[in-house]
Structure 1
Amino acid sequence: MRSFRLIRLAVLGLALVWTAPSYAQSFEGLDLGGQSKSKKKKKGATSKSAKGSKSAKGKKKTGRGKAAPAAVEAPEEESIASPAPVEAAPSAITAPAAATPAATTSTPATPPPAPTPAAPPAQENAGGFGLDLTQQEAPKAPAPTMSFDAVDVSGKTADRQRLDVAVSLFKNDEYEKASMAAHELLADPKLAGLHTEARYVLAKSLYRMGMYHSSLGEFSKILSLGPSTKFFKTSLEWLFFISRKTKNETVILDEIARHANQEFPEKYRNEFRYLLARYHFVRGRALDQVGQTADADKSFAEVKRLTLLIPKTDLFYPRARYLDGIASFRNGSRQKDAASKRGNGEMLASVEAMKEVVRLTRPVAGKSADQAKADKSLRELAFMQLARTHYGMQQNRYALFYLGKVERGNTQWLESLFESSWANYRVGQYEQALGNLITLSSPFFREEYFPEALILKAVIYYENCRYRESNIILQDFERTYLPVHDQLEGLVKKDMEASAYYSVLADVQKKNKEGLEKNDTDLILERILRLALTDQDLRKTNDSILELEGEMDAFASRGDTFKYSELSKQLLEELKVQRLSLISKAGIMAKGKLETELVALKQLLANGLRIKFETTTKEKEFLEEQLKAGGRTAIVKKYRFSVAVADDQLYWPYEGEYWRDELGTYQYTLTKGCIDRDSANRNVQSAEAL
C-alpha cells in the first residue's frame, strides 16, 4: 500500500514536470496582436521579470527600423513648409505595455511565427515588463528586421533633420538663421540629394528678408535644373511675386522668356503672357534702334499674339491692350504722310486700343490703392498716345483734347504741356503755346530737358515778325545747348565699352546724391543724364541698378553672424555679377539714347541756324522797305487782344515771378506782330464737337 502511494506520488510529480513547459509554450504561442484590449488590465501587474525590459529594448530597435522609410522619402512642398519632425516617427508606433508577460522558467522557448516585432513602448515606459530573452536563442526572431536595417540609410535621417531645422527656423520667422542653415547643406557635396530643397528654403528666406535680387538668383538656379525638378513650378510662381516687389518688372523678363515653352500655373498664366509680351516689346524697340527691322517685326508680331490670349476680364488686360495699341502705332507710323496715316488700319486700331484702355482704367470705387495708382498711370499713358497718334495724322485739335486730359502735376504733365505747345502752334494759338513754354522754363523745372522749347518759341516770334526777340531766343539756345552738344559728341566719339557710358552717368548721379560741388562739365553731364533718362527702358534699368546697389549696402545692417558668413560673401559676389550685367545692358541703352539725342540736337542746332538766317534776311528786308518808304512803313502792327477769362478763373498779370499753384495756367499775350488776326486768346475747340 505504501509502495502504491509512492508510485502515485512519483506519477503525479512526473505529470507536473511534464505539464509545466506545456503551459509556457502555449502562452508564447498566443496571438499577441490582439492584446491591446487587455493592455489596461495587465498594466496593473506588479510581478514581472526585470529582465523583460531587454526584450522591449530589442523591439524598440525593430520599431525604429520601420520608421526609417518615412524619413528617407522626399517631402512635398507643403512638408517643407511645415515638416513633421523625424524624431517623432518611432514614438508614433505604439505597442501594449504588457504585451509579453514574464516566463516562469528559464527553458528557452521556440519563437512562434506570429508578427511579434511590433514596436514596443520606450524603455523608460517599459517598467521592467516583458520576457527575459538574454539567455535565449531567440535573437533569430528579429532577423527580418535586421534585413530591413541593412538598407543604406546611413546619415540620411540626420541630414533630413538638418533640413527640418532650417525649415523650422523659416517658420519661426528667423530668416537669417534659416538661410544660413540651408546654405550649410548646400555647401556639403555629400548632401546633393537635399540641395534642391535646401536652395528652395534659402530662396524663400531671402525673399522674406527683402533681398529680392538675391532671391531671384537662387530661384533661377532651381529653374535651370529643368521642369522635372520638384520645385520647378513653384519657383516659376515666385518669379511673379518678385516682379511685384521690385521697382522694375523687367529684371525677371529674361528669366521668364527662358521658360516661355513651359506650362505656367493657371492663376499666373495671363500675367506670364503679359510679361512675355513686355519682353518682346522691349526687344522689338531695341532691334528697331539698331536697324534690324525684320527681327523687330517678329517681336512686335509676338506682342500682338500674346496680348490677344489675355481675356477681357483679366486684371492684366488693360496693360496688354496698351502694348497691343503701341505695336499697332509702330506698324502704322511707317506711312509717310498724314493722309495715308489717317486711312491706315494699324493707326485706327491703335486709336481704338487706347480708347478701350481709357474706358477700362476709369476711377471706380472698390479698387485697391495700388491698383488705382497703376490704372491712373496707364490712363495717362493712353491719353498721351492718343494725342501723339492724332498729332501724327495732323488732327491737332483732337491731340489738344487728349493732352488736356492729363492732370496737372502728374508724371506725364510736363510732357503734355510741351507737346500741346506744338499742337497749339499748328492751329495758330500762339498765346497758349507761349504760356506753356513759360511753365517749362520756370525755376521749378530748370533741370528738365526740353531743348526744342526754345526753338518753338523762336519760330513763334519769327512768324509774328518779332525778329529781334527771335534772335535773342536763338542766342540763348546756342549758349545753353551748344556745350551739351560738344560734350555729347565727345562721349559718343570715344567709342567706349557699353558699361563705360553708364559709368559716366552714374558718377553724375553719385555727385547729386552726395551733394558734391559740380563744375561746368558736371552741370553739362547732368543735363545729358536727364536727357538719357528720358528713355523709359533706360530709366527702369537704372532704377534696378540703384535698387540692387541698395540691397548690397543692406548687408551692413544685418547681424554680425549673417554679415560675416560665407553665405553673405557668396550673395555679394552674385549681386556684383547681376549688377555688371545690368550695367552692361544700361550702357547699351545709354549709348543708343545718347547717339539718338546727338542726332536730334544736331538737327535742332541746324534748325536754329536756319531760323537765324531767315530772321536776319527778313529783318534786312524789313529795314530796306522802311528806308524806301522813308521810315513810314510799319510791318509790325498792334494786335487786338482781350484779358477776359472764364467765370471760374482770375486774371493776374505776370511780372516775372513764379508761383507753384500758377504753373500750367500761363497764357502769353502777343500785343503786336505782322499776322492779320481777328482776335487773340482763341479757345481750343472741344474734340467732342468735331
Structure 2
Amino acid sequence: MRATIAAVLVVLTGVAGAQPKADDPLTKYFAALEATKLVDVESGNLESLRKELAVAEGMLRDGTFTNAAVALYAIVKSPRYAAFTDFVEYQNAEYDLAVALARAGAYGAALDAVEAVLARGPGAPYWGPAHRRAIDIALETRDHRGVLARLEAVKLAEPIPVSAAGERTYLRGRAAYDAGKLADAEGELVLVSKKSRLYSSAIYLRGVIKARRGEYKTSAEAMCEVAGTPDDDKFTFVVDDRYFTIKDLARLGLGRLAHENNEYDDAYYHYFQIPDDSSYLPDALFEASWSMYQKRELATARDLVKEFLAAFPSSPLWPEASLLAGYVDLADCKFTQSQQWYDALTVKLQPIVDTMDKARRDPDLRKLLFASALTRYREVRQTGELAGKKAGTVAVAAPLDQVLALLRLDPKFIRLSDAITGMNELANSAPAAVRQWQNLGTQVSEKKVAAVSTEKTLEQEQLADANAVLEDLRRLGAQIRESRAELMRGKREGLVPADLAVAEEKRLDELAVKQRAALANAILAAEEASAAVANESSAGIRPLIQADLSEARRLDRASQSLLIKLEQAGDKLAQASIEKLYNDTRRVLDKAKLGKIDAVIGQKRKLDIEVQDLAAGRFPEELIGKLWNASMIADDEEYWPWQGEYWADEYSGFR
C-alpha cells in the first residue's frame, strides 16, 4: 500500500506547476483496491486517524517531508476515513499535507492540497493557515499571477477575510510590478489593508515605484511610514522575521533618496539607523562613507571606510570600499599614502581578477564555484553565519575564496538551481519509480493475495534482466561524466599533459556516444518487458497500472533530457553572473591603477607648488612648525631635546 502511494507521489510532484486534475489517481487506486478487498474500509476509526496523524506530524517535525506526505496521503485519500471528513483531525491532515508538500518543494501538489482546504470555506479551522501557505508559495516561487489564479478559481459562498483579501491584492500588485505596469501595481498596493500581514511590504513597494518615477519626496514618505512605525504601535507590522528585513530596506531606501538629493547629513542619519545585527549593516556603512566623502567630510569618511574594511573584510563591497579609501586620501592631498594604498589594492585584486577570468573560460571551474556559492548562500540563509561567524566578517586569502565572497547569486539562478536539484532527484528516483510500478504489476497479477507465487515467470525474469542492464548503463554514464570532470580538473591544474588530455577526452567522447546508443536500446527492451508483466495483472487494476507505468517511463525519459536543458540554462545564468562580476571587479582594478597615477601627479603638483612658493619667497606651510624651535636659537646656542623620563606620580600632585 505505502509503496503504491509513494510511486504515485513521485508522479504528482514531478512538475511544480501542475494544475489540479479532475480525476484523482489515488482515489481510483483506492477504489480498485477496495473492490478487490485489499483495503478494509471498516478498519478506519477516529482513534486510528489520530494515531496515523501523530506519526505523520512526527515526520514533519523530523524534516522527512516526503515520508510525511506519503503518510498524510494515506489518510486524506483513503476510503477508510471517508466518513471523517468533517472532523478537525481529518482537516488537520489535509493542511499538514499541504505543508509537507511545500516543504518538500512540490509546490504544485501543495497547491492542490491547499485548494481542498480552501474549498471548505473561510469558516473552516484551517482555511486561514492554508491561504497563508499558498501566499508564501507564491512569494517563494515568485509565481504571483499563477498562484493568484488558482486561489481565485476556488469558488466560495462566503466572503473571504480582510487579511486574505489584502494578501490577494498584494499578489496582484506584485504581478503588475513584475510586468512593468507600475501604475496598475500602485493602484493595487494602495488597497492593501493595515490588517494584512503584507501591509509593510506593500508600502515599501509603493515607495520603490515612486522612486523609479523620480518622485523622491512621496517615495520618502512611504519609506518613512515603514521605518518610523514603532513596534508597540496598535497597527505594528511585526509578523515574522521578514518585517525586519523590510524595515532595514526602508531605512536604506531613505538614505539613498537623501543621498540622491545631495542631503548628505540626512543620508548619514538614515544609514546609521540600521541595527548592528542587520545583514544590511555593510551596505549602510559603505553608503554612509560615500555620503561623507561627497560632502567632503574626509575625516569621517576615512573613519567609516576603515571601520568597514576592519569589520567586513570579505564583504562583496570591499573592492569598492577600498577604492573609496584611496579617493579619500587623494581628496585630502595625502598623495604618498594614496599611492601606497593603490599599490597594495592592485596587488590584491589582480589574482582575483585572473581567477574570475579562468572561471569565465572554464565550465568545470565555474560549476564548482557556483556550487560552493549555493552552499554558502543556504548556510547563511538558515543560520546567518558562515562557520560560526557572521557573513563577511572573516578575511579570506585564497583567490578562489575571495571570488566566492564577492559573488552575489541572482534569484533566478537560485530558483533554477533548486529546480536542477529537484530534477536530479527526480532523474535518480525515476528508475526506482518504474521498478515500483513494475513490481506492483507483478504483485497484483493474481486475483487473491494468498495466491501470489514466489516464483518468477519468464516475463518477470526478462524484466529483471532488462532493468539490470539499464542500471548498469546508467552507472556507466555517470562514471564517464565523473572521468571527464577529473580530466578537466587535471588540465586546469596542469597535472595532465596536453597531448594525453586530448587523447583521453576523445576516448571518453566516443565511449559516451556508444553508451547513449546502448541506453536507448535498453530502455526500449525494459519497456517491452514491463508491458508484458503489466498485461498479467487483474482486469480491475490493470488499466491504472498500465497508465501509471507508462507515465513513470515517460518521466524517466523526460527527466534526463529536462535535466540537461536545466543545467544548460543554469550555466548560461552562471556565465552572465561571472561576466558581470569580472567586469565590475576589473573596472575597480583599472580605477585603482588610475588612482595611483592621480596620486603620482598629485605628488608632482605638490612639489611644483612648493618650488614656486620658495621662488616667490613664501615658506612652505608644513615646514613652519618644524623650524619654529630652530628660529628661536641663536647662532652660538645649541638645542638639545629632552631625553629624560616622565614618571606618572610626578604629575599627580600637580593635577
Superposition TM-score, scaled by structure 1 size:
0.49
Q: Which residue of 2 aligns with 1:331?
A: 213
The answer to whether 1:256 aligns with 2:240 is: no
Indicate how the Cα distance of structure 1 residues 208 and 330 shifts in structure 2: closer, same or farther if over 3 A, else same: closer
Q: CA deviation digits over 1:630-665, x for unaligned, max 9?
A: 6986375899xxxxxxxxxxxxxxxxxxxxxxxxxx
Any conservation in 1 of the 2:293–2:328 contact (CA below 8 Å)? yes
Task: Say if 1:511 and 1:274 are closer, same or farther in 2 by CA, change over 3 A.
Answer: closer
Cross-structure match for 2:590: 606
Q: 1:621 matched to which residue of 2?
A: 605
Residues of 2 paired with 1:577 and 1:331: CA distance?
A: 44
Q: Deviations over 1:163-216 (max 9, x none)?
A: 95698257742216985466569999x99x99x99x999864445669723563
Q: Could you tell me which residue of structure 1 aligns to residue 403 of structure 2? A: 528
Percent of aligned pairs with the same amino acid = 15
CA contact (8 A) 2:314 2:406 kept: no
Equivalent residue letter for 1:531: L
2:201 is matched by which residue type in structure 1?
A: R
> Which amino acid counterpart does residue 269 of structure 1 have in structure 2?
A
Paired positions, count: 434
1:488 matched to 2:363? The reply is no
1:634 aligned partner, one-letter code: P
Partner-residue secondary structure (3-state), 2:54: coil
**Structure 1 residue 547: Cα displacement:** 11
Aligned residue identity for 2:168 = F
**Which residue of structure 1 aligns with residue 54 of structure 2?**
173
- Unpaired runs of 5+ residues, structure 1, are 1-151, 285-295, 333-345, 556-564, 640-690
Amino acid across the alignment from 2:166: N
Task: Name whichever structure is richer in helix by fraction.
Answer: 2
Deviation at 1:544, TM superposition (A): 7.1
**What's the secondary structure of 1:309's corresponding residue?**
coil
Does 2:155 align with 1:269?
Answer: no
User: Quick one: distance in 1 between partners of 2:417 and 2:624?
Assistant: 52
State the alpha-carbon separation in 1 of the partners of residues 187 and 137 from structure 2. 27
Aligned residue number for residue 224 of structure 2:
355
Corresponding residue of 1:161: 41
Q: How does 1:180-329 map to 2 (within 5 A)?
A: 180=70, 204-206=95-97, 212-214=103-105, 216-221=107-112, 240-242=131-133, 249-250=140-141, 253=144, 255-257=146-148, 259=150, 262=153, 266-267=160-161, 268-278=164-174, 281=177, 284=178, 297-298=180-181, 300-329=182-211
1:436/1:547 CA distance change after superposition, 3 Å: farther
Q: Does 1:422 align with 2:290?
A: yes
Match of 1:597 among 561, 564, 581: 581
How far residue 486 of structure 1 moved from its aligned partner, in angstroms, is 2.5
Counterpart position of 2:261: 393
| Cα distance, 1:240–1:598 mapped onto 2, change above 3 Å | farther
Q: Which has the larger radius of gyration?
A: 1
Change in 2 beyond 3 A, CA 1:325/1:584: farther
CA drift of 1:271 comes to: 1.5
C-alpha spacing 1:368/1:431, structure 2 compared with 1 (3 Å): same
Distance 1:236 1:494 in 2: 51
- Contact 2:251–2:273 under 8 Å retained in 1: yes
- Report if aligned partners of 2:138, 2:147 keep a CA contact under 8 Å in 1: no
Structure 1 201/418 Cα, relative in aligned 2: closer, same or farther at 3 Å? same
Aligned 8 A contact 1:548 1:579 in 2: no
What is the CA–CA distance in structure 2 between the aligned matches of 1:349 and 1:310, rounded to whole Å?
18
- 1:250–1:279 Cα contact (<8 Å) kept: no
Matching residue within 620, 625, 634 for 2:620: 634
Closer, same or farther: CA 636–474 of 1 in aligned 2, 3 Å: farther
Normalised by the length of structure 2, the TM-score is 0.52
Paired residue for 2:250? Answer: 382
Aligned with 1:459 (options 322, 327, 338):
327
Deviation at 1:477, TM superposition (A): 1.7
608 and 507 in structure 1: CA distance in 2 versus 1, 3 angstrom threshold = same
Mapped to 2, the partners of 1:592 and 1:301 lie a distance apart of 31
Change in CA separation of 1:354 and 1:580 when aligned onto 2, cut-off 3 Å: farther
Residue in 2 that maps onto 1:23 = none
Q: Which runs of 5+ in 2 are unaligned?
A: 1-31, 60-66, 381-385, 389-394, 430-438, 441-551, 626-655
Structure 2: distance between partners of 1:577 and 1:232: 42
CA RMSD of aligned residues (A): 5.8
- Structure number with the bigger relative contact order (C-alpha 8 A, sep ≥ 6) is 2
Q: Match of 1:460, SS?
A: helix
Q: Residues 527 and 276 from structure 1, CA distance in 2 versus in 1: closer, same or farther, beyond 3 angstroms?
A: farther
SS in 1 for 2:239: helix
Shift of 1:629: 5.9
**Alpha-carbon distance change, 383 to 583 in structure 1, aligned in 2, over 3 angstroms:** farther
